[in-house]
Amino acid sequence: MFRIATVAALVCLALFLLRLSVFEPGRVSETGLGPFNAQTIFENSRKNYASVKQAQQSPGIANSQKYEKIASISQLTQSFDADRKRVETAIADHGGTIQLERASGLAGSRILHLGIGVPPEKFDPFIDAVRAAGRTYQIEIVKNDKTNEYLQLRAKRTTLEKARAALETLKEQGGSTDERVKVQNRLTEIEQQIQDLGVELGDFDNQNELCTVKLTLAERAGPAPMPLGRRMMLAAEWTSIRIAGLGGGFLMLALGGWLAAGLSTFALRLMRHARSGKIE
């Protein structure tokens, strides 16, 4: 009996020490982080457009394809200051421009949102450089063809310029005071529309060609070390459950052996009585 108790105690101690040595504290859950609700922050950031030369050119058609390319990246970091410097260095090295910046949070849970304009030819290398800062949690790259929108804006401006020229001719022809006032008001409206279109078309200008990177750098501190007392309590709880399972298993095994032995003995007695022709 003493030997059995000793073996059981040694098994319990071995399981306890094993669990204590390999115990891992729970990791910080990332469920629900999503894109850190950054989409609303970037909604009002400047739009950037780039272009690529078309293989074939046709009369009356723009000689380049206009497109919008946007990368949305969410990075997790435990070294916020160092990784922020990495990002800033990558922006400078790739000729990028910070168009939007928003920082929030206290040490341990800081979040930095950056809207960055990057030259089209530096877009992919810049993405690789940014992803080296921290750990990528989420990334999405979208490319939208804006050629038709660009052509429509140009056509609309041409139409407005023709209307302006016609009104200026009409204005020179004179007329009543009321007519001249109406013509002048209409000219003012058209001039304003032409200026607005100029701003929109200016975004497509080759000198302003950029692709957009919406970057979110979020600080996530690692799990705090668990106190030894807490680890020992959890290890003891884990060991007791395993020992109870092992004990229950051995008990069921012993009970099954006892029942099997009893049934075998009973069957043998029946066979002996049947051969001797006696029934006790």
Q: Which of 29, 25, 9, 14 is nearest to 230 (CA)?
A: 25
Q: Are 115 and 42 spatial neighbours (Cβ–Cβ below 8 Å)?
A: yes
Q: What is the pLDDT of residue 40?
A: 63
Q: What is the pLDDT of residue 55?
A: 58
pTM of the model: 0.61
Burial class of residue 20 in the structure, from the number of CB atoms within 10 Å of its CB (0-12 exposed, 13-18 middle, 19+ buried):
middle
Q: What is the pLDDT of residue 14?
A: 72
Q: Are 105 and 167 spatial neighbours (Cβ–Cβ below 8 Å)?
A: no
Q: What is the pLDDT of residue 112?
A: 94
Q: What is the pLDDT of residue 148?
A: 93
Residue linked to tokens 């750990």: 135
Q: What is the pLDDT of residue 123?
A: 96
Q: Enumerate residue ranges in the chain where pLDDT < 70.
A: 1-5, 7-9, 11-13, 15-16, 19-20, 22-41, 43-45, 54-63, 222-226, 228, 247, 277-280
Residue linked to tokens 């680890």: 231
Alpha helices in the chain (DSSP H): 2-21, 39-42, 80-93, 123-131, 147-172, 177-202, 228-276
DSSP symbol at 78:
S
